[in-house]
Structure 1
Amino acid sequence: MGSCIICGTPVEGRICDSHQEDVVFEFRGNEASQLTPGRFYSGAVDGYADFGVFVDLAPGVTGLLHRSELDRRLESLDWEPGDTVFVQVKNVRDNGNIDLGWSIRQSERDFRGALVQDADGDHEDDESDESDDAEAEVETPTVRHGSASRDESDESNESNESGKSNESNESGKSNESNESRHQRDEAEPEPSADRERVEIGTLGDRVGEEVRIEGEVVSAQQTGGPTVFEVRDETGVVDAAAFVEAGVRAYPDVDVGSVVRLDGEIELRHNEIQVETEALVSLEGDDADTVQSRLDDALRGRARPDEVTPLADHDAIVSVGTQLQDAAEEIRRAVFESRPIIVRHTTTADGYVAGAAVERAVLPLIREEHAKSDAEYHYFDRRPLEEAVYGMDAATNDVTRMLQDRDRHGEKLPLVLLVGTGATVESSDGLDLLSIYGAKRVVADAAAVDAEIEESTDVLVSPVLADADASDLSTGALVANLAAAVNDDVRSDLRHLPAVSYWEDAPQAYLDAASDAGYDETYVRELREAIALEAYYQSYEDKRELITDLLFDNGVTPDGDGENAGNLASHVSEQFRLKLDAEVETARANLESREADGVDFAVLDTDAYTHRFDFPPTALLLDELHRREREGDTFVTIGVAMDELYLRSTADVDLRAVAEAAREHAPEAGITAVGIREGRIEFLSGRREQVKEAVVEAVAEQLA
């Protein structure tokens, strides 16, 4: 019986089940069957193929990292044969083939610990054990100079993934004696009085110098080697590594939110600036207030945009200018505070345009703010949402992940930005769950907004609140303007996005802006259709590289020699049109046409006459049918599935009122309006025919 190297839990071996993914393994076995699926391993690049990268995990044990597992284009990888990389073993097939997965952690310091796995099981590296024994002979451990700490941490397979100290085991008892902790605390040096403070933003020009910085700790991560503090001042963020001994928490009283003064040497390690800590102290009283005031003043000056300049002439955007400023300030503040940003958007063309616009604006700010090259993957995440309601399922997922990131990685709680979702009372429970934990909530939506939801948000951006006419405003257009307010440097990249977000009747000002940016109406249509198709497949994935290729790289993909291989948008758009036209023709042949109280209806049994689990999704199909079939001022299209109904109308329809009236006609059917934005009503499947008739009657009564 051993104990887990992360939490100290008694286990058979060296790592408990809950921390398997927190450790990187060096594989010293001799056959694939000895690998453990789900674990992360270090390996060496063996070579490239058209479909992925081969990685050697041990002599004679090679796996394939398929291009579909990458979070970027295969061509964009800068790995060379022989380079050390980190991958996850996803599956070991019966024939010995090994399926590998991408690891966002591409350095040893990004894991909480390291172990060797061979044919006999898991154990610590012999060299690390010898190093640990040597360290144990030192009676009074001291915080060592940075360069020494990094060398020793390399031997110990340092990591960077936990905000928790290894001092505590599962029972909460310390792994150190009180005496040794007291000795260590006494030995930790504090900054001397003879240095002047320098700004973090200048550290790139000070490699090799000994400096002093002052700022706020935004994460505190215990690795298998040093403790790594992320410290921010008014100009940027940098990693500071402090070493006592392998895996032992340095400065245990310093945690996220502490205001500190730190002396150390600036080093360039793996092409990243970091401070090797010599001395560190938490500031209190006037000293802490001075630093905090400096940070707050700088943050206020940097975070709020001076004004909102619309991407094109649009009264609806002008009407929400102050709201856009407020939202942009919250987003920029999150970047400068090193607070992660989670973007939730619908899996529609409009939703993807909105989410991609924010991504385009925020990622450069994160790169400028953080010295770590992979910071954008830690501080920004775009999570598509299939429903236009931010319900408890999505909120529970987000809360679970943010609490894990807080506990494992020492991250601040995130800002959650919801675009095209979360703006109706059906999302109140989800938003309130975020609020209980103190996560910031910004909602931006151009349609289906309930003013009551403002109480469940920190900022709500909606023309409804400004009593403005938003009939010609899409959420993609609204959020593209928000993105320009967040980062004016990418304004030229965003000019065509509003036009892409409209299926029809795009304001001429946006079409002109797109044309000026090199996107004519045909190209805009192709982009919209391509995004709609790709939004459907792998709907829970952000598809960052693919969406970037479509929306921002002129839709042209390079071939293996770097030459233009073809227009990606045109190719995907053609697939969209073929699939949609085929489904529409089948549906049109099976439409039920009827009239009630002067209202013309087209009703489709989507269970019987559509391929419900293939493209297009029901909502998009009903939109297209409605566009093609509609006649006159009062035409309604209805799609009825087993337990849900979609409604489209040429005249304004109050969906909640329809549901309420339909309940009177079918009181036992469980009729509920659940998707105001997407026109969706749910009901009990056993009352399907009764519900269809009740909804037709309720709509006719409302429009008569």
Structure 2
Amino acid sequence: MGKCIICGASVDGRICSSHEEDVVFEFRGNDPHQLVQNRFYTGIVDGYADFGVFIDLSSNVTGLLHRSELDRRLESLDWEPGDEVFVQVKNVRDNGDVDLAWSIRQSEREFRGALIQEGTTELDREPEDDDDDDSGGVTHKPTPDKPGESESDEGNGGADAGDESADDAQHEQSTEAEQSADVDSSSADESADEGDDESAEDDLDAVRDRNQATPEGEHERVGIGSLSNRVGESVRIEGEVVGARQTGGPTVFELRDETGVVDCAAFVQAGVRAYPEIDVGDIVRLDGEVEVRRNEIQVETDALAALDGDQAEAVQRRLADAVSDEARPDELATLGDHDAVDAVGDDLLEAAESVRRAVIESRPIVVRHAATADGYVAGAAIERAVLPLIREEHAKSDAEYHYFTRRPLDEPVYDMDAATKDATRMLQDRDRHGEQLPLVLLVGTGSTKESNDGLDLLGVYGAERVVVDAATADPEIADTVATLVNPGLAGADASDLTTGALASVLGATVNGDVADDLAHLPAVSYWEDTPDTYTALAEDAGVDADRVTDLREAVALEAYYQSYQDKRELITDILFDSEGSELAGHIAGQFREKLETELETAEANIEEREVDGHTFATLDADAYSHRFDFPSTTLLADELQRRGDRDATVVYGTDELYIRADSDVDVRSAAGDAAMAVPDAGVTAVGVRQGRVEFLAGRRDQVTDAVVDAVAGQLE
């Protein structure tokens, strides 16, 4: 029995349950299940992701501080990799994943005490760590010079410092990294002697020299794909560096060859960049020992060097040949039968190859899609296809969160606001985490000239852009992006094709193993007049018409709320959960209730007009709809036109309006005519796909009248 360090109560350990959250622990365990829920722990920032921060709690245990747990925006954190921070363990999952919570106390002096948790044992914090204690907290041991050599071997221990070998310097540096003690802690005069400081620096240089050594000798090269069968062996691998990140301990290089991708840890000193001359994109040769860390294969680097000349070219040829063979799909997937899809078959194959190539080359994929039911279906179809490929390619359990992101857009235009956000994130990921520039896949957006500026911004940095859109597209976009998939530009009639249906074919082409999962999605993407081929496809997949409606409406409701979030797990549950799930039906019920309430109010306040023999409905959305609640103005306009017996509907607000009509309307032409009629109103078409026109608020009534007249002139 011991006594609580806070209140003195008798306890098993050093802290009672009532004061457990008043103490911060240094964790010296190797199993996440040894952590105690709700305790506070010290940790080291390992790195950032879009969804949070990875924190090393010990050399073998890492947790995730999700952005939802922060008391501020993720972007406002001033933490850098290697910083010591304080976090609370919120939960340890069955698979060993650790969920962390934010600690408002970010200094040890703000806690009432500090303890060490060694495994499951609680120990008092000693004034100075013993040099022979090798169980420190967040550490990383250097790889031995020779295979099988123990880090604890002292080599020429006891020799004079001036004659100390590089092996001895490595051993003392390992002790320093693990214990945060002085390199010369065994010296009698450890506190002030300048000669000792110089010796410590020499030791560090010796370790750095050892780590910067060039692979030499005749070693047999092995493929990364075979490393799981070579644990404990010393190996040589050659390939391309596709990622480099600095942790609180080692530098981790992500290396790719023609058979796979693996993390390779290189250590100089805690938080110090190893091999600073090696960068992302370099072709390298690496010698090291295969280990298993956190249930994942990793190589402890002994030596690493960049290749050039014929050697580099040989590796590049192997990689290029392997990528080409693996990335090109065998054939276009068959999901239903639609002439417009067949018309862009070659373009779909090109887009699918770009996606598969990005996965193989460890380039992140960013999918941009509209925050609509059709947009979410399209994005989810591609997500469903790509995530299994990422899991197969990367050993890291969280790779799918690093290498695939969906970012919905409120507007179906890829404007400078969206492009600036994407450019900022990709440059941060490149500079802070050593990631490659992403493939940006725009689905149902980015196909009109209003998106040119945004696309050009990404092009300045060389980020690959692919656009897939079943609706209106402008031919000049084809010159801006790597691939443009658009049936209209291919000369096909795509009036009855949705982007969700087109993207589902793309997803099945990217990964044929998920084709059955995607079979019902084309039907879900239609609000009305679903082609028979897609209705039959959904029925064959066991999804009847009522279920299709539930799925569509559930996705539409969730697309509105938190529209800038991907809601990956929720959307997956809605679209791909078992038939017995009640989730989609429950959410669809809310959709109908909210929509009917809004429609009842709107229809009671519609102004009916007759212009040139055509009937119009106009609605002041500011006055007769809830602007900040479901449904969105665009969906309200859609429903008013679908349900009304009229030729066109115009829903207007403070400085924008939306046009809906049964026949095709040239929104740019209508906006141009209105601009001529009201020249001082700043009229412009900003969302061709949405039928959206903007203007100056002070001229709203005049612009609305002018747009109605212009649309009437286009109706047959």
TM-score by length of 2: 0.77
Q: How does 1:364-513 map to 2 (within 5 A)?
A: 364-513=388-537
Q: Secondary structure at the match of 2:617?
A: strand
Q: How does 1:132-171 map to 2 (within 5 A)?
A: none
- 2:655 counterpart of 1:640: no
Structure 1 residue 101: Cα displacement: 9.3
Q: Which residue of 2 aligns with 1:680?
A: 692
CA 1:227–1:464: 2 relative to 1, 3 Å: same
Q: Identify the residue that residue 155 of structure 2 maps to in structure 1.
A: none
Counterpart of 2:639 (choices 617, 624, 631) is 624
Shift of 1:397: 0.5
Q: Unaligned 5+ residue runs, structure 1?
A: 1-29, 36-41, 48-53, 60-68, 72-82, 93-97, 157-175, 558-566
Is the alpha carbon distance of 1:517 and 1:653 closer, same or farther for their aligned partners in structure 2, counting shifts above 3 Å? same
The answer on whether the counterparts of 2:21 and 2:40 sit within 8 Å (CA) in structure 1 is no
Quote how far apart the aligned CAs of 1:188 are.
3.1
Counterpart pick for 1:326 among 347, 350, 353: 350
Indicate which of 245, 256, 269 corresponds to 2:280: 256
State the partner residue of 2:107. 117
Match of 2:65 among 67, 87, 90: 87
**Does 1:531 pair with 2:555?**
yes
1:664 is paired with a residue of what secondary structure? helix
* C-alpha displacement of 1:227: 1.3
Q: Which amino acid aligns with 1:258?
A: D
What is the CA–CA distance in structure 2 between the aligned matches of 1:339 and 1:148, rounded to whole Å?
39
How many residue pairs get matched?
A: 600
Preserved CA contact (<8 Å) 2:173 2:204: no
CA spacing shift, 1:385–1:639, aligned 2, 3 Å = same
Distance 1:55 1:120, change over 3 A: closer
Q: Which deviations, in whole Å up to 9, do the C-alpha atoms of 1:650-675 show, x marking residues without a partner?
A: 11110000000011111111111001
Task: Summarize the Cα distance change of 1:330–1:699 in structure 2 as closer, same or farther, 3 Å threshold.
Answer: same
Kindly provide the amino acid, as one letter, of the partner of residue 39 in structure 2.
D
Structure 2 vs 1, CA of residues 680 and 138 (structure 1 numbering), >3 Å: closer, same or farther?
A: farther
Amino acid at match of 2:654: M
Spell out, residue by residue over 1:75-118, the C-alpha distance to the aligned partner (whole angstroms, 9 max, x if none).
Answer: xxxxxxxx9744365349xxxxx9999999x999x9xxxx9831
Deviation at 1:294, TM superposition (A): 0.3
Task: Say whether residues 1:266 and 2:290 are aligned partners.
Answer: yes
Change (3 A) 1:269 1:34: closer
1:250 Cα deviation from its structure 2 partner: 1.9
Q: Corresponding residue for 1:17?
A: none
Taking a change above 3 Å as real, the CA distance of residues 152 and 483 of structure 1, as seen in their structure-2 partners, is: farther
What's the offset of the Cα at 1:306? Answer: 2.0
Q: How does 1:499-648 map to 2 (within 5 A)?
A: 499-554=523-578, 556-557=580-581, 567-631=582-646, 635-648=647-660
Q: Return the letter of the residue paired with 1:495.
A: A
Q: Shift of the alpha carbon at 1:244?
A: 1.9
* Distance in 1, Cα, partners of 2:681 & 2:218: 78
Q: 1:187 to 1:501 in 2, by over 3 A?
A: closer
**Does structure 1 retain, via aligned residues, the 8 Å contact 2:452–2:477?**
yes
Note the C-alpha offset of 1:249. 2.1
Does 1:55 find its partner at 2:55?
no
Matched, 1:701 2:716: no
Task: Mark the runs of 5 or more structure 2 residues left unpaired by the alignment.
Answer: 1-18, 25-30, 43-49, 53-60, 73-86, 117-124, 143-159, 181-199
**Alpha carbons 1:43, 1:55 under 8 Å: kept:** no
Could you tell me whether the CA contact under 8 Å between 2:211 and 2:274 is conserved in 1? no
Give the conservation status (yes or no) of the 8 Å contact 2:648–2:662: yes
Residues 531-550 of structure 1, C-alpha deviations (whole Å, 9 max, x = no match)? 00011111111111111101
Any residues of structure 2 matched to 1:146-295 within 5 Å, and which? 184-185=208-209, 188-295=212-319
| Contact kept? 2:173, 2:203, Cα under 8 Å | no
Q: What residue in structure 1 maps to residue 78 of structure 2?
A: none
SS in structure 2 at match of 1:466: coil
Asked if 1 retains the 8 angstrom alpha-carbon contact of 2:21 and 2:39, the reply is no
Letter in structure 2 aligned against 1:665: A
User: Cα–Cα, structure 1 residues 273 and 182, in superposed 2: closer, same or farther, change >3 Å?
Assistant: closer
Query: 1:245-295: per-residue Cα shift (whole Å, max 9, x none)?
Result: 222222221111111111111111110010011222211111111111000
CA distance in 2, matches of 1:204, 1:630: 66
What is the distance in 2 between the residues matched to 1:234 and 1:511? 42
Distance 2:532 2:624 in 1: 37
Contact 1:141 1:187 in 2 (8 A): no
Whether the 8 Å CA contact 1:153–1:224 is kept in 2: the answer is no
Structure 1 position 119, deviation (Å): 1.5
AA aligned opposite 2:587: V
Residues 556 and 630 of structure 1: CA distance in aligned 2, closer, same or farther (over 3 Å): same
What TM-score do the two structures reach when normalised by structure 1? 0.78
Coordinate RMSD, CA, aligned: 3.7
What's 2:154 paired with?
none
Kept in 1: contact 2:618–2:652 (CA 8 A): yes
Could you tell me which amino acid in structure 1 is paired with residue 693 of structure 2? I
**2:271 and 2:339 mapped to 1: Cα distance?**
58
Amino acid corresponding to residue 65 of structure 2 in structure 1: V
The aligned amino acid for 1:249 is R
Q: Look up the match of 1:169.
A: none
- Structure 2 CA distance for aligned equivalents of residues 178 and 619 of structure 1: 68
Q: Determine the structure 1 residue equivalent to 2:76.
A: none
More deviation, 241-250/252-261: 241-250
Query: Percent of aligned positions with the same letter in both sequences?
Result: 58
1:381 and 1:552 mapped to 2: Cα distance? 18
The structure-2 alpha-carbon separation of the partners of 1:226 and 1:532, relative to structure 1 and needing over 3 Å to count, comes to same
Distance between the aligned counterparts of 1:186 and 1:145, measured in 2? 10
Question: Which residue number corresponds to residue 8 of structure 2?
Answer: none
Q: What SS does structure 2 have at the residue aligned with 1:463?
A: coil
Measured after TM superposition, the shift of residue 187 of structure 1 is 6.2
Q: Partner residue of 1:18?
A: none
